[in-house]
Structure 1
């Protein structure tokens, strides 16, 4: 699955967002089946898919996934872990794109505090 995930990332960097999404959806489905929904590899797949959804203008779908990623990373890694902070920052960016500015600001302030 790593090769597929890498190909999806390359497609994303090349602006081939829909192709990246198709692969990322497949990667997530396989990882969930093999590793479980709370495995960090699966969560990383979800996070990558959310980014691609955001690039494709599918902001509400990205928000839903990012909320899930935040919840799982906080539970597994803790609220101070760098990967959790990244998940919160991604969620803040999506909230901003979705017009949820005050929520985005609150989350961004939290991310700054954690990273300091």
Structure 2
């Protein structure tokens, strides 16, 4: 399901990608836990998809939560955490 959501995202089929990313994230939260790296990856994917749909505030909110959890679980030097932090700074400084 995650792979299909990624394909939809690459095709610009944002709404379909969002629906699947939500399902993947919720399933991973239930099965793996909210702090599992795969769940965090799903959270980031959903945030990027929301951002592409112009839902900036929602995307930033979700990515902030993702970053906080990544720092706790993966550490501040992990590549995923660094990518999330960089994206978050970029998103927050847009339109300034």
Scaled to the shorter chain, the TM-score interval is over 0.9
What CA RMSD, in Å, does the superposition of the two structures yield over aligned residues? 1.0
Report SS of the residue matched to 1:38: coil
Choose which of 21, 25, 39 in structure 2 pairs with 1:24. Answer: 21
Query: Tell me, what secondary structure is at the counterpart of 2:57?
Result: helix
Instruction: Measure how far apart 1:96 and its partner are.
Output: 2.8
**What does residue 62 of structure 2 align with?**
65
Aligned length: 96
CA-CA distance at 1:11 after TM superposition: 0.5
Unaligned runs of 5+ in 2: none
Q: Which has more helix, going by share of residues?
A: 1
Larger Rg: 1
User: How big is each residue's C-alpha offset from its partner over 1:36-69, in whole Å with a ceiling of 9 and x where there is no partner?
Assistant: 1111110100000000000000111100111011
Between the aligned partners of 2:58 and 2:84, the Cα distance in structure 1 is 15
Offset, 1:93: 2.4
Determine which structure has greater relative contact order: mean sequence separation of CA pairs < 8 Å that are 6+ residues apart, divided by chain length: 2
Q: Does 1:87 align with 2:91?
A: no
TM-score between both structures, scaled by the size of structure 1: 0.78
Task: Compute the displacement of 1:77 (Å).
Answer: 1.6
Corresponding residue number in structure 2 for 1:109: none
Q: How does the TM-score come out when normalised to structure 2?
A: 0.94
